[in-house]
Structure 1
Amino acid sequence: MGSITESKPIPYIEEGVYSGAPSRLREEADKTLSTLLSNRTVPTTQPRKHGVRLPPDTNTELFELAIKDLQAKIGAENVEVNDKDLDDGWYMDHPKTHDAMHITDQEELVASAVVYPSSTEDVQTIVRWANETGYPLYPISLGRNLGYGGSAPRVPGGIVVDLGKRMHKILNIDGDNASCVVEPGVTYFRLYEEIQARGLPLWIDTPDLGGGSLLGNAMDRGVGYTPYGDHWAMHCGMEVVLPNGELLRTGMGAMPGPDGADNPTWQSFQNAFGPQVDGIFSQSNFGIVTKMGFHLMPATNNQSYCITFPDDDDFEAIVDTIRPLAQQRILGNIPQLRHIIQELSVTGRSKSSFHSGSKPMTREEIRAASGSLPLGECSWVFYGTQYGPPETINQQLAIIKAAFSSAIPGSRFFVPEDVPQDHYLHSRAKVCAGTPVLRELDWLNWLPNGGHIAFSPIAPTRGSDARVLHEILKAAYARHGFDMFSTLCVAGREMHYIAEIVYDRSDEKMKHRAVRLVREMIDECAAKGFGEYRTHLLFADQVARTYNWNNQALMRFNETLKDALDPNGILAPGRSGIWPQKYRGKGWELGAEDIEMKHLGPKMEAPEWYLYDPNYTIFNYTTGGTRGDVGVGAYNVATNQTFDCYAGDVDLARPGDAPEWHNCSVPDTEFSFSLDTNSFGLRQRWICDNAPQYTFLANGTVELPDTALGCNTESGQKWCLYGGNTIRPGLTSPLTIRPFPPWLPGSPYEYPDRCVERSDYPTWEIRALVYEHQGAAQILSFNYTNMMNGIVSSCSLPVNETLTRATSHLPRWISCNASSPSGSREISDTFVQFDADYGILALKQSWKCHDNNVNDDEPEDYHGLGYLVKPLQCSERVQYGGEMSGSPANYTCTLPTTNISGYASYDLPLPVVPHTLYTDSCTLNSMNNTVLRLQAYAFDFPADTPGGPATASFTVSNPGPGDIYAIQDIPLQADGQWHACATDTAGSMPWQLQSCAYFLNSTSGSIGFKFQWYCDDRDPFHAILFTANARGTLSACRNAVRTNTACQYSSPVGLELDIANVSWQSTGEPMNRGPEWPWV
């Protein structure tokens, strides 16, 4: 954690910092930073509560492999994993990993990594990499879009592409054409200083703060304050990387110039020929703009001024006065109308210097406080600038003064010479003459640790409409306890109403209030037809839904474009509420009801707890008392872990009271129990790879009356035993917990003697297992010991049984010829499953348990189910289909002494068994830079039918993991066309193949194969898809054995499948493994 007053040195352009401030503003920057530091009560850097926030549908291992791959492409130093503490910094030293003005938890909308491209080509490489990995990219120019989300990715764990850090060149300034071309990292400060250094008579149009990106601000349709203040309208020509990595130029740039140079009219004419596509890239996620042209304003004479108005109620008349002046082009620029509270805040003084207490200042208090300022007591201030020759300016000012004086009595007129040098009017005069400044930061000091978000609706420039909008906002601010900072950018037909919300970033409750305020204003304004033109990324979904004419026709159009341009959904999903099909409707959207951040994305698979016998007990409970000792044993399905939770002398809930939550002996685990209702609850908190802390609650009611069997009263004490109950998490829907045992549906509950304890569940020890492969027949036999009772049994399959292969059928249970030893636990049935391909064994038994305390003599049925988790280690490698290298007719696989555990419920989750031939070898690294060799050992071409049907069998060997895949009896068409692989009834193909295609020309001997296949990369829920292509030529009948009808190739042809450039992707879903073992 850093110091409250700690900050890095201010960066300056002259020191080589592309995003720094100009040294001419050194005094202003020092003062701004000093004031911000003095207003902090907490450090900007806080210790992280969680590790790296991963992208969706991945795990740490895959993420690390993908990042290494990107580092190899872009340079290790240009890809940074976001694993350090998050520093909010300040405007001139802002974060690239999250929103410095975070309105939600700092670690919610946070990047997993940041990548720094240096060129358009780098951006294309990054985009193609994202399409391979499926990871979402969030491009930023500089990340200074503060108030609207800053650098934060909308999907937590997204990869931020920081374009500005290494792409900040001013590519061209054309003094004659009054235009420029810039990269994303060029700031208003940088361009201004460069123009001044060249001595060109040109202005830039700058927003309130000069540290932003020209390109980024225009893409978000930001505004400035000269006649060129519509920044999007002033752009001319773009270079765009599309979501598939292709490159596009818009406007005249689509036509090459002479000798391959840029078109000389690229920055002269916006529209060119055909549809004007530039607009689809603004405020969208349809491409990454890497170059952008702008028109610059020729320098001219100018005069800034301001006009004050006495009363709040003058607002409607002010707007109605502005409208004709703007429509007639008498007003020289896009003027600002600001409420007087902005004049208080822009002094840099805190609210506490004007007002005591935390409640919002009243209008009367604000107006009274304004009396101490140079403009005197007032309610509204209008800032404008006129341009042109002095005589033109004077004529225009006379018209403006007369219009406002006539419409609003008490109006007063000021020019910069009328106010002190530190007054805001001097700063406005610079901005309106194209000189960028830092002054606008001062109002963040209104509250400690000041953060802000902007609410930005559009309304007609009509007094009555402006009044309706203003009253909606004023009432909402009052309801939620915020001071209202109103700034209006007023044009002839519409006005941007920018309402700022200032909050303390360290105050979570205040931030929640701010979110509620914005969400309410979005819907209330939309109901009157006022929509936001720009919003914080947290509210984009809600705002997008307000533009819902004709059943969301606009959004449906945007989604159509998104899915066509970005089918993999990798580019800024959720930007402006536009979600690709991959995310759409799957829990990522946020709406009016989402005040606090929820778990984004598909709902996490919540753990299921299985309460196992006999540890869910109440004991040492005195009959009639309210306290006792409680213990519970649980099995967490999600983590495959068991745990015992115990607490002594706890309140068991008195009649009518709600049960209390008690900490138990397991960290971050609590439970509750009510004796009155027999209700039980269990909840846990934990941290996931790609999610913050979550709490899941499982609860239910044990439906056992107080006198039921399972509860005994001895010497005034009560002892109860409940077990074998599955409880599922549910925050709103309690689930019924069934009484033990769940595998005896409908049987009477008789349990006084605890006939089968958990320790009694059998563990089988497999001994002397022999698997014989005798041609087509497969025989399995083994001896095993039941570790519960020490009885040794044997199992052998009937001679006529052939073990089923999981590659073509589900394994089936086969009755085993097993001994049935005598004893109190009599084995009644034994079944076995065995997969010859993978060497996986399962054993299932049923047995009788004589309960000596039950009056009748009928035994109860119990079942055990066990699995051998590891495949058999055979004396020789088992290849696909049991084929052996060297192919002896008979061979055996033996197994050393091995334990498999039995479980007493089919409902219990069971160990995941290996399900590929790769075991742990099929990883990205093992497949990279290797060659799969295709060995043809039987291509049969009918000699008398050139181009006719043929058949082939061959093997593919992978020297990486050493696996061999045998593909048998493929019917071939030798016509030189691509065909899908298929087998006849006697053939087979490895199930890992996702697709297989071939072409073959028997005349030329040309041959080719394409494969796609899956491997599990040691994570069964994140398969990797590999691709390989091969082409080659077979010399006619080379090394062949000729017959009357065929030319048979029986020796390897050396055809190689090169997968050095591996294509891979994380599917995010259980992969298509073909037929499954039932327990996988």
Structure 2
Amino acid sequence: MSNKLTAMPKNVSHETMQKAIKAFVKIVGKENVLIGDEEMLPYEKIMMAVPIEEHMPALAVQASTKEQVVEIVKVCDKYVIPIWTFSTGKNMGYGTAAPAQRGSVILDLHKMNRIIEVNPDLCYAIVEPGVTYQQLFDYIHEKGYKLWLSCPAPSAIASPLGNTMDRGVGYTPYGEHFMMQCGMEIVLADGSEFRTGMGGIENSTSWGVFKWGYGPYLDGIFTQSNYGICTKMGMWLMPEPPAYKPFCITFDKVEDVEKIVEVLRPLRIANIIPNAFTIASTLYEAAGVVSRADYVDGNRAITDGEIEKIKKDTGMGTWNVYAGLYGTEEANELNWKIIQSAVSANFKNVAFLTAAEMGDDPIFTYRADLMRGYMTLQEFGLYNWRGGGGSMWFAPVAPAEGKHTLNQSALAKKILNKYEFDYVAEFIVGWRDMHHIVDLLYNRNDPEEMQRAHDCYAELVREFAAQGYGVYRTSSGFMDLVAETYGPEIHNVFQKIKRALDPKGILAPGKSGIY
């Protein structure tokens, strides 16, 4: 263990840091306190368009138990040292493990990886932060439980607790992950701890099944915030349906996307389509399976003509809708006929594709697996599209109304092309909302291109906010900017809660723009 820190926290002396380090070593052991350039290298890998120097952590402490977390937090509270916590640090397009504030101590919880309980009858799990989707998936299958997970796209190495705390989403009918969360164990900035919901009852029988408990509902304030550290979480799991029918419908024209939403939204709200349906653009589908260099000369933005050539070569649509049907075979077939009838009445030249037509097509298989909670890393193929390791997810939200699709896609494409980047995107339509997921892919090894990516992302945030579209998640390099778009009134409330629960401001300063 080196004694040379990679960065120093604000207003903290070297003498104070050495005292804290000695305390950390006493709590978790020397091998779990990582200091110096070599040991800190895994924590310095970022994909956002900001210099790592601005987000360089001081050191990392790896905790294995809640009791260790409590003692570490008490040390940081005593010496007023900022601490940035994560579950596995695999939040690739949203900042990975990089703290919002330079010099923060990293609290790495990936070794807290116990599956506390999986109840196959009531269909819930209680897990620690370091449990990965793959670990929970394997456990469920080893036990033979008829339960399905809901997971984000590159999911195997990510944490269900961490994803839920950042209000991530998945692709099954249980895809609104925070909606399916039930009960948290929280450590506050002074080292005190408590359980939300029914967890305060001694020997509680209902912590994993009833969200609300008694009194104010608190779970929500700990998501996307820096008010406490979650060391356990309950989550509801989907019972395995008797039959599953994934499908894809391809559409040929750019302007079709407006009517796609209008036609399918009523079916989604009525649960004829039980999961959030995805409307993927050609490039979003193609980026993982074809080489950009085969179609584009240089690093300029791809042209519409080149996209048409990709469509012709791959057989993809301009828009590719994916969803699934979950139930008995008879119910699935009935709902499939309803969907086909609604689409056919409004469109010509569409293709209705199921497993029978697609066979082992890799893109269809990937989507079909994702919509039943199977682990996959295939979406990491997006990072090969441009090369150079740069990726930032831009994720504005709109009502699930068709008029917003063309407006958003045209605005995003205009801004991206202005900075010579490609529009690689999909829409995910929930019950009443619509997430527009844009992956800004760029080369981090080119300083000029990284600066363009930074300016492009900032312009996307500002211009979309000006048209009434707020971003629902962002990376640690742009949290202040996104927070500004939501106005001072709600931010002042966030700060009041922060001062009440964390008066010294030690927990994740800068998270969601809160200090």
What are the superposed Cα offsets for residues 877-923 of structure 1, whole Å, 9 maximum, x if unpaired? xxxxxxxxxxxxxxxxxxxxxxxxxxxxxxxxxxxxxxxxxxxxxxx
CA contact (8 A) 2:415 2:456 kept: yes
Does the alignment pair 1:185 with 2:139? no
Name the amino acid aligned to 2:479. A
TM-score (norm 2): 0.96
Structure 1 or 2: larger strand share?
A: 1
Does the alignment pair 1:247 with 2:188? no
Instruction: Tell me by how many angstroms 1:78 deviates.
Output: 1.5
Aligned residues, how many? 510
Instruction: Tell me by how many angstroms 1:422 deviates.
Output: 4.5
Does the alignment pair 1:168 with 2:117? no
For 2:381 and 2:305, locate their aligned partners in 1 and report how far apart those are by CA, in whole Å: 23
What are the superposed Cα offsets for residues 396-445 of structure 1, whole Å, 9 maximum, x if unpaired? 11111122222222111111232352421111111211211111111211
**Selected match of 1:316 from 252, 258, 270:** 258
For 1:52 and 1:283, locate their aligned partners in 2 and report how far apart those are by CA, in whole Å: 26
Name the amino acid aligned to 1:363. D
CA contact (8 A) 1:225 1:432 kept: yes
Aligned to 1:350: 291
Aligned to 2:140: 195
After superposition, residues 54-73 of structure 1 pair within 5 angstroms as: 54-73=8-27
For 2:185 and 2:398, locate their aligned partners in 1 and report how far apart those are by CA, in whole Å: 33
Name the amino acid aligned to 1:192. F
Does the alignment pair 1:404 with 2:343? yes
**Selected match of 2:232 from 291, 295, 317:** 291
Aligned to 1:459: 398
For 1:63 and 1:519, locate their aligned partners in 2 and report how far apart those are by CA, in whole Å: 35
SS of 2:38's equivalent in the other structure is coil
Aligned to 1:692: none
**Which runs of 5 or more residues in structure 1 are unaligned?**
1-49, 88-94, 258-262, 580-1080
Aligned to 1:21: none
Aligned to 1:805: none
Instruction: Tell me by how many angstroms 1:522 deviates.
Output: 1.1
Aligned to 1:237: 183
**Which runs of 5 or more residues in structure 2 are unaligned?**
none
**Selected match of 1:544 from 483, 490, 493:** 483
Name the amino acid aligned to 2:84. Y
Does the alignment pair 1:158 with 2:104? yes
Instruction: Tell me by how many angstroms 1:332 deviates.
Output: 2.1
For 1:389 and 1:532, locate their aligned partners in 2 and report how far apart those are by CA, in whole Å: 38
**Selected match of 1:562 from 487, 490, 498:** 498
Aligned to 1:867: none
Does the alignment pair 1:120 with 2:45? no
After superposition, residues 106-505 of structure 1 pair within 5 angstroms as: 106-164=52-110, 166-210=111-155, 211-257=157-203, 263-300=204-241, 301-347=243-289, 349-373=290-314, 376=315, 378-419=317-358, 421-505=360-444
For 1:276 and 1:423, locate their aligned partners in 2 and report how far apart those are by CA, in whole Å: 43
Identity %: 36
Instruction: Tell me by how many angstroms 1:63 deviates.
Output: 2.1
For 2:164 and 2:36, locate their aligned partners in 1 and report how far apart those are by CA, in whole Å: 28
**Selected match of 2:455 from 489, 507, 516:** 516
Does the alignment pair 1:535 with 2:467? no
For 1:557 and 1:102, locate their aligned partners in 2 and report how far apart those are by CA, in whole Å: 28
Q: Mark the CA change 1:68 to 1:51 in structure 2 (over 3 Å): closer, same or farther.
A: closer
SS of 1:185's equivalent in the other structure is coil
CA contact (8 A) 1:322 1:492 kept: no
Instruction: Tell me by how many angstroms 1:69 deviates.
Output: 2.4
SS of 2:498's equivalent in the other structure is helix
CA contact (8 A) 1:456 1:497 kept: yes
Name the amino acid aligned to 1:314. D
Name the amino acid aligned to 1:333. N
CA contact (8 A) 1:155 1:574 kept: yes
CA contact (8 A) 2:131 2:160 kept: yes
Instruction: Tell me by how many angstroms 1:368 deviates.
Output: 1.9
Instruction: Tell me by how many angstroms 1:107 deviates.
Output: 3.0
SS of 1:54's equivalent in the other structure is coil
For 1:329 and 1:275, locate their aligned partners in 2 and report how far apart those are by CA, in whole Å: 31
After superposition, residues 1036-1051 of structure 1 pair within 5 angstroms as: none
SS of 2:227's equivalent in the other structure is coil
For 2:299 and 2:345, locate their aligned partners in 1 and report how far apart those are by CA, in whole Å: 39
SS of 2:393's equivalent in the other structure is strand
Superposition RMSD in Å:
1.5
Aligned to 1:574: 510
Instruction: Tell me by how many angstroms 1:85 deviates.
Output: 7.4
For 1:437 and 1:487, locate their aligned partners in 2 and report how far apart those are by CA, in whole Å: 18
For 2:100 and 2:509, locate their aligned partners in 1 and report how far apart those are by CA, in whole Å: 7
Does the alignment pair 1:78 with 2:32? yes
What are the superposed Cα offsets for residues 697-723 of structure 1, whole Å, 9 maximum, x if unpaired? xxxxxxxxxxxxxxxxxxxxxxxxxxx
For 1:291 and 1:327, locate their aligned partners in 2 and report how far apart those are by CA, in whole Å: 32
Instruction: Tell me by how many angstroms 1:377 deviates.
Output: 5.0
What are the superposed Cα offsets for residues 106-159 of structure 1, whole Å, 9 maximum, x if unpaired? 333121111011111111101110011111000000001111111001111100
Aligned to 1:793: none
What are the superposed Cα offsets for residues 679-702 of structure 1, whole Å, 9 maximum, x if unpaired? xxxxxxxxxxxxxxxxxxxxxxxx
CA contact (8 A) 2:124 2:235 kept: yes
Name the amino acid aligned to 2:255. D
Q: Mark the CA change 1:51 to 1:521 in structure 2 (over 3 Å): closer, same or farther.
A: same
CA contact (8 A) 2:262 2:401 kept: yes
Name the amino acid aligned to 2:283. I
Aligned to 1:818: none
Name the amino acid aligned to 2:268. A
Instruction: Tell me by how many angstroms 1:170 deviates.
Output: 0.4
For 2:336 and 2:477, locate their aligned partners in 1 and report how far apart those are by CA, in whole Å: 43
Instruction: Tell me by how many angstroms 1:325 deviates.
Output: 1.3
TM-score (norm 1): 0.46
SS of 1:69's equivalent in the other structure is helix
Name the amino acid aligned to 1:571. L
More displaced 10-residue stretch of structure 1: 55-64 or 146-155:
55-64
For 2:430 and 2:247, locate their aligned partners in 1 and report how far apart those are by CA, in whole Å: 17
What are the superposed Cα offsets for residues 230-258 of structure 1, whole Å, 9 maximum, x if unpaired? 1101111010001111001000011112x
